[in-house]
Amino acid sequence: MFETLMRLYAAGKGPLTVTMLANAVIKEWITDIEKQLILATKI
């Protein structure tokens, strides 16, 4: 899941938002550290 979210967020494809990433952490799809890594990739 991490790789998929990373690719989608970095590519700017789809409506992937910070809120959606936070929800993925709540659902334990990714960790908070992985969320921070994904957010760091945004240009």
Is residue 9 exposed (0-12), middle (13-18) or buried (19+ Cβ within 10 Å)?
buried
Residue 14: the pLDDT is 67
pLDDT, tens digit only, all 43 positions of the chain: 888 888 777 666 667 788 988 999 999 999 999 999 988 876 5
Residue 23: the pLDDT is 93
Residue 43: the pLDDT is 55
Q: Tell me the whole-structure pTM to 2 decimals.
A: 0.74
